Amino acid sequence: MNEPETKPPAPGPQNTEKAETAIEIVTCPECGRRLLTKTSMLCNWCGAKINDQDYQARAALNRLERDQQERTDLEVVIQEEAELGILGRLRRLGKQNKANGRSDTPL
């Protein structure tokens, strides 16, 4: 009953090259603050345009990927609502949440 708790292993130096490139921090050239998002063309703090061409290319690619994912998700919802109707889709989601033990909906 009183078993010692096992802790997960500490993170090691695996893939250090990958981790270093993933942690790239971009700062605004005007105010010097760290940008909150890597998809905006403007600084989140002062609104200055970021003139780095590499940053702009990555931001455009990130926006494109996010837009494609949102379109795919929306197409799935539209198709499901066309088959089941809105109430049928909501009932299915409610049953799915109950089965998973989730209660995301307010009382």
Domain boundaries, the chain: 24-100
pTM, entire model: 0.52
Percent of the chain at pLDDT > 70 equals 71
Mean model confidence pLDDT for the chain: 79
- At 64 the pLDDT is 94
Q: How confident is the model at residue 107 (pLDDT cuts 50, 70, 90)?
A: very low
**Per-residue pLDDT tens digits for 38-52:** 888 888 899 999 888
- Cβ 82 vs Cβ 63: under 8 Å: no
In whole angstroms, what is the distance from residue 105 CA to residue 60 CA?
35
- Cβ 23 vs Cβ 15: under 8 Å: no
